[in-house]
Amino acid sequence: MAQSMMLYWCSGSPPCWRVMIALEEKLLQGYKHKHLAFDKNEHKCEEVKALNPRAQVPTFKHGDIVVNESLAACLYLESAFKSQGTRLIPDDPTEQALVYQRMFETNNLQQKMYDVAFYEYYVPEGERLESALKRNKESLVAELKLWDGYLEKMGKGSYLAGKSFTMADVVCFPVIAYFPRLHCPREHCPRLMEYYEMLKDRPSIKASWPLEWLEKPEGPDTLKNL
């Protein structure tokens, strides 16, 4: 079944990484894939554009089905292979609600991290303002406090949506992994760092770990001075 799948991906991209984790959790190893380089704009190649008019990754194809948004691809994999591998969406509506909430909330954490960590990449030099970066940092610190509070409320050793590993963890872990890599002070998110340590050696996460992170475990210190 995995042989009929094709994933176009870039290493280090949280959206790509979460789809790869989902594939591992659903025991779909052996899928076809093509690693593209962001810095060479390979994700904008004609091969990707033919499937994804946005020319973005991940671009995922299963047989004749094309699913391009990472959350959509993850949910598709759970639906199509519900009884295979790890059950990532619980049946109970109350438990489901929290899983979905944390999944979609991840967009807030990811964007606020990008707004600080990659400020100089996204904002042209002539438009950069210390006051804007300061506001971005304050917003990120508040966001981290919110997520730390979630884990504190769940109790020690908990995953993001309860005592079981779910799609919330598949979606959010690749974002959380950036914080230790970019030297975020632990005091801003001690519970998130405990969560990171708990999950980083999970087989699905280790199997899909970003290639350049293996070669260079530490990234720039763009989150050091929050």
From its phi and psi, is residue 62 left (phi > 0), alpha (psi between -120 and 50) or beta? beta
**Exposed/middle/buried for residue 212 (C-beta within 10 Å: 0-12, 13-18, 19+):** exposed
The b-or-e profile of 145-174 (16+ CB within 10 A means b, else e) is eebbebbeebeeebbbbbeebbbbbbbbbb
**99 and 200 assigned to the same domain:** yes
Q: What is the pLDDT of residues 61-118, one digit of tens each?
A: 999 999 999 999 999 999 999 999 999 999 999 999 999 999 999 999 999 999 999 9
Of 24, 59, 81, the last residue of a domain is 81
Q: What is the pLDDT of residues 135-163, one digit of tens each?
A: 999 999 999 999 999 999 999 999 999 99
**209 and 98 assigned to the same domain:** yes
Residue of 114, 160, 118 lying closest to 139 (CA atoms): 114
**Is position 134 within any domain?**
yes
**75 and 100 assigned to the same domain:** no
DSSP bridge pairs for 62: 5, 65
**106 and 211 assigned to the same domain:** yes
Query: How far is 32 from 5, CA to CA, in rounded Å?
Result: 6
**Three-class DSSP labels, 193-208:** HHHHHHHCCCHHHHHC
Of 57, 81, 105, the last residue of a domain is 81
> How many domains are there within the chain?
2
Question: What is the domain range of residue 77?
Answer: 5-81
Tokens 């079981």 locate to 164
Q: What percentage of the chain has pLDDT greater than the value 70?
A: 100
Of 59, 81, 103, the last residue of a domain is 81
**Is position 222 within any domain?**
no
Question: What average pLDDT score do residues 5-11 get?
Answer: 97
The CATH number given to whatever domain includes residue 153 is 1.20.1050.10
**173 and 134 assigned to the same domain:** yes
**119 and 209 assigned to the same domain:** yes
**106 and 164 assigned to the same domain:** yes
Residue pair 50/61 in contact (Cβ under 8 Å)? The answer is: no
**Is position 73 within any domain?**
yes
Q: What is the pLDDT of residues 169-187, one digit of tens each?
A: 999 999 999 999 999 999 9
